[in-house]
Amino acid sequence: MAQLSARPAWTELPYGSSIPEPGTARNCKTGTWRSARPEWSHAECVRCGVCVLFCPEGCLALDLRGYPGADLDYCKGCGICVHECVTGCIRMVDEVE
């Protein structure tokens, strides 16, 4: 993995305030502060992918069989996937310490 270069000082930025490298949430694992996480019942899932489309964090993905799952390092537990699920196969489960 390539290391990030040192950021330029404000006096070194080119005119027009261009941003030399985009920001990314991948540098900050935010899943540690959620209070609930999604769980799927694959028996009820029709593999439509609606939950993946509506996830505001982009931490849901379909596996090789087409079933959704969450990258819990980045899932904040907002529950939007549960609300948007057409079959109701997702439920929020409380995190335990």
Kindly report, residue by residue over 10-55, the tens digit of the pLDDT.
787 777 766 667 666 667 788 888 999 999 999 999 999 999 999 9
In one-letter notation, the amino acid at residue 11 is: T
pLDDT at residue 86 in the model: 95
Q: Which of 70, 73, 66, 36 is nearest to 55 (CA)?
A: 70
Average pLDDT, the chain: 87
Please, which contacts does 63-69 make with residues 24 or more away whose CB atoms are closer than 8 Å? 67/40, 67/42, 68/40, 69/40
pLDDT at residue 4 in the model: 62
pLDDT at residue 35 in the model: 93
Which tops the pLDDT comparison, 29 or 4? 29
Phi and psi for 60 in degrees, rounded to 5? -100, 145
- H helices within the chain, ranges in order? 50-54, 80-84
